[in-house]
Amino acid sequence: MLGIQGGMPVALINQNKRTKNTQDKDHIELSEGHLMEVSSSIDTLDKTQQAVSTQEKATAENADSTEATNDTADSFAEFMRGALGGSGVTQVNEEELFAGLIQQRLEVENPEAAAYYAEQKAQFMTTLRQSNGYVSVEEAAVEALKATVEAGKIDLESAERINGEAFAAAQLDDNLDALYDSDGSAEDSTVAVASMEAALLSMRTMVDAYDSGEAPAASRALDAAITTTVASSGAAGAGHSGDGSSIEGAQELDGPQGFLWKPVSEGDGNLVVLLPTDLRGMLDRVEIHSELPASADTLLEEGRFSGDEHNGARPHYRFDQPGSGYGSDVHVVAYKTDGTQITWDITNGADRHD
């Protein structure tokens, strides 16, 4: 006989309980599964957000780095333009770049030293200027750098490092042992010029390599030979007359388009001497002597005439050694066809004289 509870058979009540318990269990299991899915989704979302945040941070850092690099490059270009004469200057030569870069490197080391150097260079540009207006910018820059050291604005080791960096970074041609200016004809191999923008880009690349340590420049002594030195030996008042005739005796070194002692030529690496255009067609021979008056006993070498069509139509005479091979305090003697002689005094054969 079936039991009755609350008006319902006990078996039916128990069956209903079992059904409800099963449903509750299934609901609980479903709820737990749903929670796990939700938790997994949240975890995935968190990881995605973290990845996005990391990427955004890296992008921002890269942007900051790029902006900082651009700011540095702009600052370098702005400083160099100012040191080279302002925005109106569109072309520059190696000597000018050398002088300007010394000032920029000093500015990085010590702004006070840079300011002192600039003042000294301006003074030397005046005191070293010859009567014909020519001045070696390289020489003025080196003398100003020496003065900056002597004034205690910078130590000698730093100055020689800066001198080496500026000398290397200022190169515009294939001759890395000399600095050239912009005086001369298009065929003159001692002319080295570039547009301002191209020169700044080239220098900036070199300076970045110096600063990063990738390609440090060798230090350069402040008393190293200046390849563009203009010596001032010669008798006062000697020179060439306006009609092309020459005055016998020692001649003043006369700057561009005049006399040039080039100790290392591009052709063979030996000395080449260029004489003023007004002597074209008037020369018998050109010699180097150890002393004056010239004689067979003082003769060091006779030059070989190699033409007078280039470099301002100046007569070219080539020799068998580099300029350094002739030593110091020697004399170039040009023998004219009319029997007179013209001499130029060379204080140091290793230096360029013009």
The stretches in the chain having pLDDT less than 50 are 1-2, 28, 30, 65-69, 227-249
Please report the pLDDT score of residue 316 as a whole number: 93
pLDDT tens-digit readout, 316-351: 999 999 999 999 999 999 999 888 889 999 999 999
Please report the pLDDT score of residue 181 as a whole number: 79
Q: What's the half-sphere exposure (Cβ side, CA atoms, 13 Å) at 39?
A: 6
Please report the pLDDT score of residue 339 as a whole number: 84
Please report the pLDDT score of residue 261 as a whole number: 93
Please report the pLDDT score of residue 323 as a whole number: 94
List the CATH code of the domain at 249-348.
2.60.40
Please report the pLDDT score of residue 51 as a whole number: 59
Please report the pLDDT score of residue 317 as a whole number: 95
Rounded to whole angstroms, the Cα distance separating 334 from 325 reads 20
User: How far is the CA of 331 from the CAs of 94, 258, 284, 328, in angstroms?
Assistant: 29, 16, 17, 9
Please report the pLDDT score of residue 228 as a whole number: 38
The reported pTM is 0.49
Please report the pLDDT score of residue 217 as a whole number: 83
Question: Using DSSP, how many helices (H) and how many strands (E) does the chain show?
Answer: 6, 13
